[in-house]
Amino acid sequence: MAGTRESEYDLIVIGAGIAGLVAAQRWLDSHPTSKTTLLEKTQRVGGVFGRRRLYPDFYTQWTVGLAEFADLRMPRPPEENCIKDFFRAKYTMKYLEEYAAKMSHNGKTFKERIISDSDVTSVEKVYDTWHDTCIYSENEKTIYTAERMVVAAGEHDSPYIPELEGQEDFAAPIIPFANFGASNILSAPNTRQVIIVGAGKSSADMFYKSVRAGRQVTWTVNHLRNGEEVPCDALLLGIGWRSYTTSFSEDTATRLGLPHDPALDSPEARSKWKTIEAEGDAATIKRFPLLAAPPPYARKTISLTPWRLYNGIVPVDDHSIVFINHFISENMMYFAEVQAMWIVAYFDGNITLPSRNAMENDIAHWKAYSKRRYLSSHGQSANFRTFDLVPHTDNLLSGLGSQNLGEAVGKQCVECE
């Protein structure tokens, strides 16, 4: 391709959402002269809370006081934009934009470090250097290189859009949840009837907004289909997300421990993981007997391997790349900041890793626990920690020499007595 350029950095961060911003900030706090950039596929920072993703009834799922990083306070929004301590998501957007504008290292703010409209289409390692390819036009692409890389693209970045039978003759717009806010589809005068596909939170949000807008709504879930034809002026999709790991080749994904086709593993590797996951399952049931017999639920089989990263962050065999905030959890700002501090210590060689076998056992035991604790495809994928945020972050902080939250609270209670 004509117009191929290369641009070299010390550290590349993929994504300028919550995790990408705080990861870059904590790295630059310790290495202010580091040549660091953030590759962001959209025009603005924020990720899920970016301007293009907002809509009027989008509220946060965290509260005032928890929706901020340690180095910049977020003022309480006006009361008319709050429901108790929850608030409209636009204030998180404003906070993240302010954060990017204010944080400065070696004379450069984040706004000057972020390269926008840069969708990373390919990630590969050539010798000891990571190559991230962004294609900007038919005749222009740039390969960004660095010895270290932070992947903070997030799980809610690229919507899953299926190929629908008869789609080429379907006149109404098909809008995934990621584009719902920017579309303003419910403001269009000819949008009277809408169909919403999916039964998760994003679908529920679109349903609520559509009803509030006075539209006639049909809410459908795939397994309830009966062949009935329903007219609509817009088809709104809330059926999940496409993994960002598709930018990694199959060989690279397999080597790093990212989800991949199990057939790519050697017979020895498949046997090993099967054995240690079974050991993890037995240990889980012994420690948590209640998880041995879950209530009836809809089982969904996944076709790919689970995430196999130590602490959910680092590959066992490659210490030059980390993945943060791909877990689905509660307070993603706090979660991202703890991970960001941990990866700085990790990259600087200040985290003592256990042996390879110990790391693999830890990964397998978490997967076994996750599969029984979270009865969904996320549990099988081992990237769901909604009710395990505190122990997981305690574990990361203990690696930094910090007293964990459980011990601190217990000590306070004893002192109170």
Query: Within a domain: residue 399?
Result: no
In a domain, 127, yes or no: yes
pLDDT beyond 70 at 411: no
Same domain, 346 and 271: no
In the prediction, which pLDDT does 53 show? 86
Q: Tokens 């991202």 identify what position?
A: 336
Residues 247 and 140 grouped into a single domain:
yes
The reply to whether 153 and 298 lie within a common domain is: no
User: Which of the pair, 392 or 329, is modelled with greater confidence?
Assistant: 392
Name residue, tokens 């397998």: 364
Token pair belonging to 121: 């289409």
What does the pLDDT average to over 121-129? 94
Mean pLDDT of 179-190: 89
**C-beta of residue 139 within 8 angstroms of C-beta of residue 1:** yes
Q: Flag whether 109 is in a domain.
A: yes
In a domain, 386, yes or no: no
87 and 200 together in one domain: no
Domain for residue 295, yes or no?
A: yes
Q: Is residue 408 part of a domain?
A: no
Residues 211 and 293 grouped into a single domain: no
4-18, 163-177, 234-248 — which one is most confidently predicted on average? 4-18
pLDDT at 178 (0 to 100): 85
Q: Is 70 exceeded by the pLDDT of residue 404?
A: no
Sign of CA dihedral 318, 319, 325, 328: positive
**pLDDT at residue 137 in the model:** 80
CATH number for position 41: 3.50.50.60
- Over residues 331-354, the pLDDT tens digits come to 889 999 999 999 999 999 999 999
Domain count within the chain? 3
Q: What is the pLDDT of residue 99?
A: 96
Please check the confidence at residue 372 and state whether its pLDDT lies above 80: yes
pLDDT of residue 417 exceeding 60: no
At 409 the pLDDT is 45
The domain in which residue 274 lies consists of: 261-303+354-381
Burial class of residue 27 in the structure, from the number of CB atoms within 10 Å of its CB (0-12 exposed, 13-18 middle, 19+ buried): buried
Q: Are residues 279 and 346 in the same domain?
A: no
Residue 396 CA to residue 340 CA, distance in Å, equals: 10
Query: Rounded distance, CA 69 to CA 102, Å?
Result: 13
The residues facing 174 across adjacent strands are: 235
Amino acid symbol at 265 = D
Tell me if residue 408 falls in helix, strand or coil: helix
Task: Let me know whether 171 and 234 are in one domain.
Answer: yes
Closest CA to 117 of 44, 59, 41: 41
Residues 75, 152 within the same domain:
yes
Spatial distance between the Cα atoms of 44 and 349, rounded to a whole number of angstroms: 33
Token pair, residue 180, equals: 């719902």
User: Quick check: is 398 in a domain?
Assistant: no
91-106 burial string, b = 16+ CB within 10 Å, else e? Answer: bbbbbbbebbeebebe
Structure confidence at residue 412 as a pLDDT band (50, 70, 90): very low
For residues 311 and 61, the model is more confident at 311
Mean pLDDT, the chain, rounded, equals: 89
Residues 218 and 268 in one domain: no
Calculate what percentage of the chain has a pLDDT beyond 70: 94
Residues 150 and 256 in one domain: yes
**Which amino acid appears at position 128 of this protein?**
D
Maximum mean pLDDT: which of 43-52, 269-278, 299-308: 269-278
CA-CA distances (angstroms) from residue 3 to 39, 135, 254?
Answer: 19, 10, 31
Could you tell me the CATH number of the domain that includes residue 200?
3.50.50
The predicted-structure confidence for 88-122, as pLDDT tens digits, reads as follows 999 999 999 999 999 999 999 988 999 999 999 99
The percent of residues in the chain predicted with pLDDT above 90, rounded, is 62
Where is the domain boundary, 353, 370, 389? 353
Separation CA 119–CA 68 (nearest Å): 27
Tell me, what's the pLDDT at 201?
Answer: 83
Higher model confidence: residue 229 or residue 35?
35
Confidence class for position 81, pLDDT limits 50, 70, 90? very high
What would the pLDDT profile of 295-304 be if each residue is shown by its tens digit? Answer: 988 887 888 9
Whether 98 and 186 share a structural domain: no
End-to-end Cα distance, the chain: 72
- Going by pLDDT thresholds of 50, 70 and 90, the confidence category of residue 1 is low
- Domain check: are 188 and 89 in the same one? no
In a domain, 10, yes or no: yes
Place 12 in a pLDDT band, splitting at 50, 70 and 90: very high
Q: How far apart are CA 211 and CA 235, in angstroms?
A: 15
Kindly report, residue by residue over 199-220, the tens digit of the pLDDT: 888 899 999 999 999 999 999 8
414 pLDDT tier (thresholds 50, 70, 90): very low
